[in-house]
Chains A and B, each alone.
Chain A
Amino acid sequence: MSIVSEIERVLDNAERVNGDLNSFLSVERTSALEQAAALDTSSDATPLKGFAIGIKDNICVKGMQATCGSRILGNYKAHYDATAVERLKAAGAVIVGKTNMDEFAMGSSNESSAFGIVKNPWDTERVPGGSSGGSAAAVASGVVRAALGSETGGSVRQPASFCGIAGLKPTYGRISRYGLVAFASSLDNIGIFGQRVPDVANVLSVIAGRDPLDSTSADVEVPDYVAELTGDINGKRIGIVRDLIGEGLDADVKNSIEDAIDNLKKLGAVPVDITLPHAKYGIAVYYIIATAEASSNLARFDGVRYGFRSEEAEGLREMYMRTRDEGFGAEVKRRILLGTYVLSSGYYDAYYAKAQKVRALIKQDYIEAFKTCDAILTATSPTTAFKIGERLDDPLAMYLSDIFTVSANLAGVPAVSIPCGLASDGMPIGLQLVGNFWGEAEILRIASAYEIAFPLIGKPSVFVG
């Protein structure tokens, strides 16, 4: 079968499911078919030849829109490829579309997109998670085998958990952020969704590694992650944090995580008790550092150089202020306000400086923990996917749902979420494996062994297979 006919099938599927899910903000038929035709005539054997992939709409693809789910960038088109995208194209992957997201990646439910909410393929009355909800729904509904998302506090792992697929947040510095629109630069990562762990490993092998265009990308050797999926996890020490499998966790999630520990034992892994004494402060630290950095990064959206400009204003200052009020949605404004407040004169030491100190303690907890274990197991989210609208009026409750994911971003360590069963409401449950710095291969190996031995039984109601 030709790559063109395969990509045509993917594009048709993307358009078909979009009516139900709103997972794609754009389906890029023309460029995808051009790319596919070129691949059909090329004799080069590249690692992802003809592999269809979706890209979150805050990652730049030359000539395609990059709205970040925001009205303020509603008509913006990227002038260049993100490094991750350039590497995907060079490897023969075909970009089929830009995926929906929470505005500027701020949200845990994909309800803050300016271009409509995304629905969960398992139950269209529920959220897909966020902020990379469009990418997660596109993969879970079977349209693409993999998609890129971005992570600042769990925005790949939590939607992967809610949609029953694999989702990886790499070590900070593992994947170049060049071409990823900045939200909170010291926490942001490009992440990868896959229907299965090998899909994630395949894409990671291609896009990981030092990039001179991102000074925070690190010069660390990139293994062949697919070759690392040996299936052998005998003797692996799995760190269990007893405090995190207690109150606050839904009963079904708790049971499922306890079953997962038993399942890993059957595969030869050895659970060991560890502690992360400062993990409980993660949300507080996160919402200081992330909002502070966001208030600075998002200052560039002012109606001068690109995007939306308010027509109402007289004078420059009023133009800035109205453009930003009309162009940003409520969640983005709330976070910019919080970030501005914690950085404002007289409050810096009490909030931002304090948070950076506690962040150091959280990182130190991980360094200590990995002296006695190879990976740490937790639930990815305390609940399964919630109903659309359920948490919209209570931002703090929404933030608290990131309790298990944010600390990996604060420390900089990698983490993967894979499905580990269905709850009584029929929705997938995710287990999270957190790895040591640069230990993506280790957690992907454990995740892959788990998904082979204990595959998720069941299929989303919206699935094109």
Chain B
Amino acid sequence: MDVKHVAKLAHIAITDEEAAIYGPQLAGIVEYIEQLNTLDTESVEPMLGGLTVEGEATRTIRADDVRPSFTVEEATGQAPDPVAGHFRVPKVL
């Protein structure tokens, strides 16, 4: 596994020191999980999500009516750099 490349995909700026530690650890874990390849699962339907039969059967559509929500102050007030009801971020370009 190219740890630096995967870290870039995950938006994590890991250092060379971290890559040197995680690389062998992740290689060991990947080797372990590859034991699944010994199982024949050709005819098995995958389990998508964790729902039980009863959970699948539960009606989840709610009435389409207005409900109270967070205020702008609540929604933005804990941001590292809130400005006038918005989130300010470093320049993109």
Q: CB within 8 Å of B: which residues of A?
A: 75-77, 79, 171-173, 185-187, 210, 212, 215-220, 278, 281, 283-285, 287-288, 295, 299, 302-309, 313-322, 324-325, 328, 330, 333-334, 336-338, 340-342, 344, 350-351, 353-361, 363, 395-396, 399, 409, 412, 437-438
Docked complex Cα distance between A287 and B32 (Å): 10
Docked complex Cα distance between A113 and B55 (Å): 33
| B32 lies within 8 A of A396 (CB) | yes
| B29 lies within 8 A of A399 (CB) | yes
For the complex of A and B, 3 pairs with smallest distance between CB atoms: A321-B13, A309-B80, A356-B46
Pick from B26, B41, B79, B89: contact of A358, CB below 8 A.
Answer: B41
Chain B contacts with A in 21-56, Cβ cutoff 8 A: 21-22, 25-26, 28-30, 32-37, 39, 41, 44-55
| A356 lies within 8 A of B47 (CB) | yes
Pick from A304, A305, A350, A357: contact of B46, CB below 8 A.
Answer: A357
| B90 lies within 8 A of A359 (CB) | no
Q: For B3, what are the chain A residues with a Cβ–Cβ distance below 8 Å?
A: 337
Question: Assuming the A-B contacts A218-B55, A360-B45, are A321 and B12 also in contact, with contact meaning beta carbons closer than 8 angstroms in the complex?
Answer: yes
B14 within 8 A of A: yes
| B36 lies within 8 A of A437 (CB) | no
Closest chain-A Cβ to B23's Cβ sits at a distance in Å of 10
- Contacts A/B (CB < 8 Å), 10 sampled: A77-B78, A217-B55, A281-B35, A283-B32, A318-B90, A334-B25, A338-B26, A341-B1, A355-B33, A356-B47
Q: CB within 8 Å of A: which residues of B?
A: 1, 3, 6-15, 18, 21-22, 25-26, 28-30, 32-37, 39, 41, 44-55, 57-60, 62, 70, 74, 76, 78-81, 87, 89-92
Closest chain-B Cβ to A361's Cβ sits at a distance in Å of 6
Q: For A308, what are the chain B residues with a Cβ–Cβ distance below 8 Å?
A: 80
Closest chain-A Cβ to B43's Cβ sits at a distance in Å of 9
| Interface hub of A287, A334, A409 (most chain B Cβ within 10 A) | A334
Q: For A303, what are the chain B residues with a Cβ–Cβ distance below 8 Å?
A: 80
| A359 lies within 8 A of B47 (CB) | yes
Pick from B12, B28, B58, B60: contact of A333, CB below 8 A.
Answer: B12
